[in-house]
Amino acid sequence: MTRTKIAIIGSGNIGTDLMFKVMRLSETLEVGMLVGIDPDSDGLARAARLGIPTTAEGVDGLIASAGFDEIEIVFDATSAGAHRANAEKLLPLGKRLVDLTPAAIGPYVVPVVNLDDHPDAQDVNMVTCGGQATIPMVAAVSSVTPVHYAEIVASIASKSAGPGTRANIDEFTETTSKAIEEVGGAARGKAIIVMNPAEPPMIMRDTVQVLTSRLDEQTRAAIVAAVEAQCAAVAEYVPGYRLKQTVQFLDRGTEADTLVPADRVQTGGYTQVSVFLEVEGAAMYLPSYAGNLDIMTSAALRTAERMAARTAKEAVA
């Protein structure tokens, strides 16, 4: 079976973890090159030991490489600003991009929600770690009843947040909030990230709170079923993804009016639905507490595999 060759830009934690996932888990993708800018990075050293071509000359080194023409899909695990520059160089050359930064040049993709919604997109965005963890839950509730407001809090170990994550905090909140609305289906979204310095490092924890119209018991049961089914679907490609406790419901009154858009104010009150999650990493390269990075690389891998399958099908047709 012919595998689709991919390149990974970014030889830090995320890019290196993604390299190992492609090598160990994918039956359709092959790492054609790991790209970095630090010749002494651990990621480039590991790739070289595994016989994977590398360059420390960034995207320009990738484009100049002998195997560039064989590369079909490029993962970008750098930063929002770097991705914009990389996309300007790679898109005109016909490469398809999977963006793991909050740059959000292309459409948002959360695999269990909208994996097949953008078949012709040349540059898809994986939102953020918080988005990948929580948007499936917002979408699950939205599949049962309209969500007037959704707020997510992503708590990650400070040790799992590298320079790129810290530099993109503002983009994290903006990108995640927009994706909660566009992909999750909420009328208004809000995202908060907390980097916890606790020792030993905590695994990723996520809280999802949404406001709906006042719910009856039948609709509450349908939401619980939808949330549990969605959790199982995410766990198919992120095994450490799980509910921390049962879905919680709390009726609220007019004090919640200020959170929802003016045209969504409910005279009959609201029900607050709370979902509590944790994400434990697979520990292929990163420590198990870095579930925030694991869910990003896992979602990116699932997305690229679908891209490759679609391209292969079109080629046969």
What Cα–Cα distance (Å) separates residue 131 from each residue in 178, 189, 221? Answer: 10, 11, 25
Positions of E strands within 158-262: 189-196, 204-213, 241-243, 248-252
Give the max Cα distance, the chain: 65
Contact by Cβ (8 Å): 156, 193: yes
d(CA 289, CA 255): 37
CATH 3.40.50.720 spans which residues of the chain? 4-126+294-316
CATH 3.30.300.30 fits 4-126+294-316, yes or no: no
Tens digits of residue pLDDT in 148-179: 999 999 999 999 987 777 888 888 899 999 99
Buried b / exposed e over 289-306, threshold 16 CB at 10 Å, is bbbbbbbbbbbbbbbbbb
> Where in the chain is CATH 3.30.360.10?
129-288
**What CATH architecture applies to the domain 129-288?**
2-Layer Sandwich (3.30)
Q: Residue 221's CB: how many other CB atoms inside 10 A?
A: 13
Active-site residue, 231 included: no
For 268-297, how does the pLDDT look when each residue is reduced to its tens digit (9 = 90+)? 999 999 999 999 999 999 999 999 999 999
**Average pLDDT for residues 59-78, to the nearest whole number?**
97
Spatial distance between the Cα atoms of 16 and 153, rounded to a whole number of angstroms: 27
Asked whether the CA dihedral 162, 164, 166, 171 is positive or negative, the reply is negative
Supply 82's token pair: 């770097």
Q: Which residue in the list 129, 141, 231, 277 is annotated as catalytic?
A: 129
pTM: 0.96
- Which 3-state string (H, E, C) describes 132-163? HHHHHHHHHHHCCCCECEEEEEEEEEHHHCCH
pLDDT tens digit sequence for 94-153: 999 999 999 999 999 999 999 999 998 999 999 999 999 999 999 999 999 999 999 999
Give the whole-angstrom CA distance, residue 252 versus residue 257.
10
* Distance from chain centroid for Cα 195: 17
Task: Compute CA distances 196 → 19, 57, 139, 157, 278, whole Å.
Answer: 27, 34, 27, 5, 14
Beta strand 189-196 with 149-157: parallel, antiparallel or unpaired? parallel
pLDDT at 315 over 80: no
Q: Residue 69: CB partners within 8 Å, gap ≥ 6?
A: none
